[in-house]
Amino acid sequence: MKIAIVSSSLNPGSRSRLLALQAKARIEESENVEVDLIDLQELELPLCDGGATYGDPAVIELSSRMEAADAYVLASPIYNYGFNAALKNVIEFAGRKMENKLVGFLCAAGGANSYMGAMSFANSLMLDFRTIVLPRFVYATGDDWEGDSLKPSIADRLSQFSDDLVSFGRKLAG
């Protein structure tokens, strides 16, 4: 099974990127699972224009990597009660690759008030692409960190998330 993790934050000090890296490490502990980290700090995508940008080499690479995956983890900061524009841009380019496949969410936010920020995005993926949403996600606020490490309660949730993603992903992939 292959899992693509999309780290969408463009901030060099990103906590959602740290969540993605920690999930990657946990998922790689599973047998027969390959992880592809698609880090938008390294893969410079143009803004989707609905036309010519689909031929951009970075977009072609993104599409190929997304198509190769059986399941996805989308890691994003929460801005203004929703995912960032960079992740929405990924969906414009490669959302169809997630059709009928599993997706899970890792969210980093400054405070607790945006914990439902993933829901409108999840609904959109379910309606547009029939994506199957993992019924567990990780939402970490600034208080959930000790430096670059998660506090134990959130680290446990990240482990459970990672284990469930692999388990559900295997069942859906057949």
Query: Which tens digit of pLDDT belongs to each residue from 83-129?
Result: 999 999 999 999 999 999 999 999 998 888 878 888 988 999 999 99
Number of domains in the chain: 1
Strand-pair category, 138-141 with 145-146: unpaired
pLDDT number for residue 6 = 98
Taking 80 as the threshold, does the pLDDT of residue 28 lie above it? Answer: yes
Domain extent for 85: 2-173
- Could you give the CA distance from residue 9 to residue 15 in angstroms, rounded to a whole number? 8
Taking 90 as the threshold, does the pLDDT of residue 137 lie above it? Answer: yes
- Which residues lie closer than 8 Å to 168 by C-beta, 6 or more apart? 71, 102, 132, 134
Taking 80 as the threshold, does the pLDDT of residue 67 lie above it? Answer: yes
3-state secondary structure of 108: strand
The pTM (predicted TM-score) of the whole model is 0.95
Query: In 100-144, which ranges are E strands?
Result: 102-109, 132-133, 138-141
C-alpha to C-alpha distances, 90 to 26, 61, 85, nearest whole angstrom: 24, 12, 9
- Could you give the CA distance from residue 51 to residue 12 in angstroms, rounded to a whole number? 30
Q: Is the pLDDT higher at 137 or at 114?
A: 137
CATH of residue 97's domain is 3.40.50.360
pLDDT number for residue 174 = 75
Taking phi over 0 as left and psi of -120 to 50 as alpha, with beta for the rest, 66 belongs to alpha
Orientation of helix 85-94 relative to helix 117-129, angle to 10°: 10
Taking 90 as the threshold, does the pLDDT of residue 168 lie above it? Answer: yes
pLDDT band at 82 (very low <50, low <70, confident <90, very high): confident
* Each residue's pLDDT tens digit, 147-160: 888 999 999 999 99
